[in-house]
Amino acid sequence: MSRHPEIEIVCEKVDDGYSGILFDRPAFTEMMNEVEQGNANCIITKDLSRLGREYIETGRYLRRIFPAYGVRFIAINDNFDTLNDSSDDLSVSIRVALNDSYAHDISRKTRDALESKRRIGDYVGACPVYGYKKDEDNRNLLVIDEHPASVVRDIYQMKIDGFSAARIARILDERGILSPIEYKKHNRLPHPKGSFSDVDGGRWAVSTIFRILANETYTGTLVQGKMGTPNYKLKEMLKKPPSEWHRVENTHEAIIHNYRFDLVQKILMLDTRTSPHNDKVYLFSGILVCGHCNNRMTRRTVPNRNKTLLYYYYYCPTTKKKGCGLGASIKEQDLVFCVLHSIKAHISNIAKIENLLAELDPNRAAKILSKHLSIQLEENKQRLNKVHRFKAGLHGSMINGDIDKDELKSLKAKYTEDENALEVSIEKLQKEIEDILSCRNERIEWIKRFKIFENIEELTREAVVCLIHSIYIRGKNEIEIKFDHQEDYENALKIYRNEVCDAT
């Protein structure tokens, strides 16, 4: 500063790691506070881009804000000094515009590079989800962090066992397990700032439990690009539609098996309210349905005359006055007995079918399963050809006077709608047949899920949720149980019956 003795250094401000597009940078804000308080009346930067790269806002500071405060601005490399009247205003405008264009170009290239990485399944986030960490040799790969991973497994198991999210959070706190944010702070791992956090004191929050239970990352699938900014000048994150997400399977080792993850998602969708004095959901919560009005059944506790014993019943809360014709309740004890024996019988039937499928030629089984689909496919193709013919003949019908312009327009719209529906159906059937013939369908996998409970002797919440889609109470002695994978079971049964008939 020897050549400019009139300039005295008051302070130095540096915004490291912040984009010049933004003007709410911390150090920039501090600098402007110094100006507003009258502590500084001259600002010096290396060049104009150090002041800012946004064209309009940079020009506003140069032409309006700095002059209003009597501030002299100097950009050394650009040979620009507001004290010098000979400064070329057009040249400055061009430089500022070029800086803005440069920021736009860098932003576009950065976005494109990140999009390419997301498409191939590279992890591009800064803070891996709780239970994972970045591989030391490949920073784009997630690897399991074993201690928090074991906590995640416990959380999923407790949810399957019927615990509420609030109870799970309390159990983890009682065990002295650090919440995700506290664990990352304690181990000096990257963690989000100003985003999701746990409750005061580092305790587990219910919302944290729900986020873990709903995060598909634990299955080995990366889902990225859910949030983004509209453009390089706006930094506020907005939710993107699912169609713009990048979902890539098998990018890293799974902590939770797909089957258990799907099971938990099913549990989360059920009505799993707990009683006022209980932290676990009822055995049939969300599963039991009135067969008359399709409302969820409600559990009622009734003491005996001496109030020494409690009896549990399920009834429909929709009364006869509101149109429900059930008019009967069912004892929980009877329901448990019935469901347990139905599960045993169903698994026994599945075991028989499995033995047959194990001996059967896969190609023969595939042909049996795809036969009815092939018939439906051919029928849809014929219907589509007929719709094409009708649609093609519309103009001729109008010329002949059989229909007018309004009828032509209406019929054309209807035939177009029919065409679209049939084309979608044909495409779906073709894919189904292709999957069956190439043995890509999971007709064996579902059997394994049922056989896990082959030796079941006591009905548990896990068994109910794993095996049963819904239970319909149609009367005091009339119950309909709809098992999961019912379509797979019926297809397997079709093969079984086909083989038995052929054998006889």
Q: Which DSSP helix (H) or strand (E) runs through 482?
A: strand 478-483
Between 310-319, 442-451, 457-466, the lowest mean confidence (pLDDT) is in: 442-451
For 445, the token pair is 């996998």
What's the pLDDT band for 47 if we cut at 50, 70, 90? confident
> Do 365 and 325 reside in the same domain of the chain?
yes
User: Phi/psi zone of residue 327: left (φ > 0), alpha (ψ -120 to 50 degrees), beta?
Assistant: left
> Do 111 and 136 reside in the same domain of the chain?
no
- Please give the Cα distance from 333 to 330 (Å, whole number): 9
| Contact by Cβ (8 Å): 178, 216 | no
> Do 100 and 207 reside in the same domain of the chain?
no
The answer to whether residue 481 is domain-embedded is yes
**Which of 100, 118, 136 corresponds to the end of one domain?**
118
> Do 427 and 362 reside in the same domain of the chain?
yes
Say which residue, 163 or 98, is predicted with more confidence: 163
- Mean pLDDT for the chain overall: 81
| Contact by Cβ (8 Å): 295, 320 | no
Q: Is the pLDDT of residue 491 over 50?
A: yes
**Which of 68, 83, 118 corresponds to the end of one domain?**
118
Query: What CATH code is carried by the domain that includes residue 249?
Result: 3.90.1750.20
Query: What CATH code is carried by the domain that includes residue 39?
Result: 3.40.50.1390
> Do 152 and 169 reside in the same domain of the chain?
yes
> Do 446 and 475 reside in the same domain of the chain?
yes
**Which of 269, 299, 322 corresponds to the end of one domain?**
269
- Please give the Cα distance from 448 to 354 (Å, whole number): 9
> Do 110 and 146 reside in the same domain of the chain?
no
Q: What is the pLDDT of residue 496?
A: 62
The conformation of residue 24, written as its DSSP 8-state character, comes to: -
Helix axes 146-160, 165-174, angle to 10 degrees: 140
The answer to whether residue 458 is domain-embedded is yes
The answer to whether residue 6 is domain-embedded is no
- Please give the Cα distance from 54 to 102 (Å, whole number): 10
What is the per-residue burial (b if ≥16 Cβ within 10 Å, else e) of 82-102?
Answer: beeeebeeeebeebbeebbee
> Do 300 and 250 reside in the same domain of the chain?
no
SS3 assignment, position 261: helix
> Do 286 and 368 reside in the same domain of the chain?
yes
- Please give the Cα distance from 425 to 433 (Å, whole number): 12
The answer to whether residue 31 is domain-embedded is yes
> Do 304 and 441 reside in the same domain of the chain?
yes
> Do 300 and 216 reside in the same domain of the chain?
no
Number of domains in the chain: 3
Q: How many CB atoms lie within 10 A of CB 143?
A: 16
The answer to whether residue 9 is domain-embedded is no
The answer to whether residue 127 is domain-embedded is yes
> Do 391 and 252 reside in the same domain of the chain?
no
The answer to whether residue 14 is domain-embedded is no
Instruction: Give the domain range for residue 214.
Output: 121-269
Number of H helices, E strands in the chain: 17, 15
What's the pLDDT band for 253 if we cut at 50, 70, 90? very high
Q: Is the pLDDT of residue 299 over 80?
A: yes
Q: What is the pLDDT of residue 303?
A: 82
Say which residue, 295 or 367, is predicted with more confidence: 295
Among 81-85, 356-360, 420-424, the range with the most confident prediction by mean pLDDT is: 420-424
Closest CA to 333 of 275, 276, 284, 286: 284
Q: Is the pLDDT of residue 276 over 60?
A: no
The answer to whether residue 277 is domain-embedded is no
